[in-house]
Amino acid sequence: MQFINQNGHKIALVDNSYKVENAQDALDLMASAQYHGGSGALIVHKECFNENFFNLKTRLAGELLQKFSTYRVQLAIIGDFSHYQSKALHDFIYECNQGR
């Protein structure tokens, strides 16, 4: 994990070695970013997330994103999402991108 300063805010850049399989992994990632770099914002590659995260029927995405929201940690997931065929997922991504 690397940290950058952007306009006075510390942002954690999470590399692909981190794996987020469940809610506890998400909490551990947030705690690590806060403890090691004092960061309340993360940029995470989509490859870090379990593939079930992108299947909305599993409810994993909602569960994990609720954790980030509850602890007021900003999250940006970067990557190529074009190969996913789910309209619901594309709508979900669109709605998430409308927020801060």
pLDDT in tens, 24-43: 999 999 999 999 888 889 99
Predicted local confidence at residue 1, as pLDDT: 87
pLDDT tens profile 81-93: 888 889 998 898 8
- Sole residue written with tokens 């909305």: 56
Backbone conformation region of residue 84, classed left if phi is above 0, alpha if psi is from -120 to 50, else beta:
beta
pLDDT at 18 over 70: yes
Model pTM?
0.84
Residue-wise DSSP of 28-77: HHHHHHHHHH--SEEEEEGGGB-GGGG-GGG-HHHHHHHHHHHTT-EEEE
Domain hosting 73: range is 2-98
Q: What's the structural domain count of the chain?
A: 1
Res 63 pLDDT > 90: yes
Sheet architecture: strand order including 2-6: 2-6, 9-14, 41-45, 74-78
pLDDT at 100 > cutoff 70? no
